[in-house]
A and B are shown apart, each in its own frame.
Chain A
Amino acid sequence: MEAVLFFAAAIGALGGAIGVVALRNPFYGVLALIVHLFSLAVLFLLLSSAFVAAAQVVVYAGAVMVLYAFVVAYVGGETEPIGDPIPGQKFLAPLLGAALFIELSIAVLGSSLQALDTHGPDVHAGFGDPAGIGRLLLERFLLPFEASSILLLLAAVGAVVLAARREPSEEAAGGSSEHSSEAPAERSEDPPAASFHAGGVPS
Chain B
Amino acid sequence: MNIEWYVVLSSLLFAVGAMGILIRRSPIVILLCLELMLNAGNLALVAFSRMVGNQQGQVFAIVVMVVAACEVVVGLGLIVALFRRKLPLDVDALRELRG
Contacts and interface: CB of A to CB of B under 8 A. Distances in A.
Given A43-B43, A75-B79, A14 B12 contact: yes
Interface stretch (A29-37, A176-184, A187-195): A29-37
A75 B83 contact: yes
B36 A159 contact: no
B3 A120 contact: yes
Contact of B76 (A67, A104, A152): A67
17 contacts: A46-B1, A49-B49, A51-B58, A55-B62, A55-B65, A75-B83, A75-B89, A80-B25, A80-B29, A85-B25, A100-B19, A133-B55, A141-B59, A148-B66, A151-B70, A154-B70, A159-B76
B6 to A, nearest CB: 7
Interface string A59-78: 11001100110011011011
Contacts of B63: 144-145, 148
Interface of A is mostly: helix
A102 to B, nearest CB: 9
Interface of B: 1-9, 11-20, 22-26, 28-29, 31-33, 35-36, 39, 42-43, 46-47, 49-53, 55-56, 58-59, 61-63, 65-74, 76-81, 83-85, 89-90, 92
Interface residues of A, number: 90
Nearest to A153: B70
Given A49-B50, A149-B66, 6 more contacts: A6-B1, A26-B29, A33-B36, A36-B36, A89-B22, A116-B51
Interface pairs A-B: 7 shortest CB-CB: A97-B19, A155-B70, A162-B77, A104-B11, A101-B15, A21-B20, A159-B77
A162 B78 contact: yes
Nearest to A159: B77
A133 B63 CA distance: 12
A137 to B, nearest CB: 6
A30 B26 CA distance: 13
Contacts of B6: 43, 47
A145 B9 CA distance: 29
B11 A101 contact: yes
Given A47-B50, A96-B22, A116-B2, A74 B14 contact: no
Given A44-B46, A141-B59, A163-B80, A10 B9 contact: yes
A64 B61 CA distance: 16
Contacts of B73: 67, 155-156, 158-159
B34 to A, nearest CB: 10
